[in-house]
Amino acid sequence: MTLITLALAAAAFAAEPTPTPPLERSQVLYALGAQLAQDYMLKAADVKAVSDGLADAAAEKPLKTDPKDLRVPLLSLRREADEARRLKQLEAYAKEPGAKVLPSGLIFTEVKAGGQRRPKETDTVNAHYHGTFPDGRVFDSSVQRGQPMDFPLNGVIPCWTEALQLMGIGGKAKVICPYPIAYGERGRPPVIPERATLLFDVELLDIK
C-alpha cells in the first residue's frame, strides 16, 4: 500500500461521523410511556390504572378487562383526547396578538389593512392563499402554484365566506378555520382528514 493510499484511507476514516451511542432500553420505554400519555392526554390520576394494565399484560396474567371488548370506549377515549387537544390549540391561536374570535368560531387576524371596498357574499373574488394544517403541512396553495384564484364567496367553505367579507382589496389576513366551518367532521379525504383545523394566509387581490 502506497503512502498516498494510506493517507486517503486515514482521511476517510477521520471523516466518518462518530456513531450515536445506542439508547438504553429504559430510555426507549420511558419515551413510549410519555407518548402514550400525550396521545391520550392522560392525567396523573389515570396512571395507576394504565400501569396495572401494562403490568398484567406484560406478565401474561389474566386481564381484568379485554381490550378487544372495549374497542368502542378506547376509540372514544382517543377521540376525547383529540378534541381536547384541538380546543387547546384553538385557544392558543385565539390569544395571538391581533386575533379576533367570531361567533362562528372563525379566528381572524388582519395582517395588512386593505381598501374600503369589501366583497359581499354574492361576489366573486380573486385571491392568493396558502393553506396548511396546524403542524405546518401544506394541503393547498395558490402561492406555491404562482396563480391566484377566482371563486364565488357563496361557493366555498363557510369560514372563507365569512373571512373574505372582512377584508378590503389589497388586504392580507391570517384565517383559522375550525372544522365545523371548514370541511366538517368527515373532512375531504384523502387531502383533508376528519375534524381538521385549517390555517390560511389570504390576500384579497380583487372583487369581480
Chain length of the chain: 208
User: For residues 204 and 164, is the Cβ–Cβ distance under 8 A?
Assistant: yes
Phi, psi of 184 (to 5 degrees): 70, -170
179 given a catalytic annotation: no
- The candidate with the shortest Cα–Cα distance to 182, out of 155, 157, 199, is 157
**Which of 107, 176, 179, 183 is an active site residue?**
183
**Which of 56, 82, 123, 140 is an active site residue?**
140
**Which of 107, 108, 181, 200 is an active site residue?**
200
181 given a catalytic annotation: no
**Which of 82, 157, 169, 201 is an active site residue?**
157
Question: Residue 123 contacts by C-beta under 8 Å, 6 or more apart in sequence?
Answer: 152, 153, 207, 208
133 given a catalytic annotation: no
183 given a catalytic annotation: yes
**Which of 40, 133, 139, 151 is an active site residue?**
139
Buried b (16+ CB within 10 A) or exposed e, 111-138: eeebeeebbeeeeebbbbbbbeebeeee
**Which of 107, 108, 129, 179 is an active site residue?**
129
User: For residues 153 and 202, is the Cβ–Cβ distance under 8 A?
Assistant: no
Nearest-Å Rg of the Cα atoms of the chain is: 26
User: For residues 149 and 202, is the Cβ–Cβ distance under 8 A?
Assistant: no
- Tell me the catalytic residues: 129, 139-140, 157, 183, 200
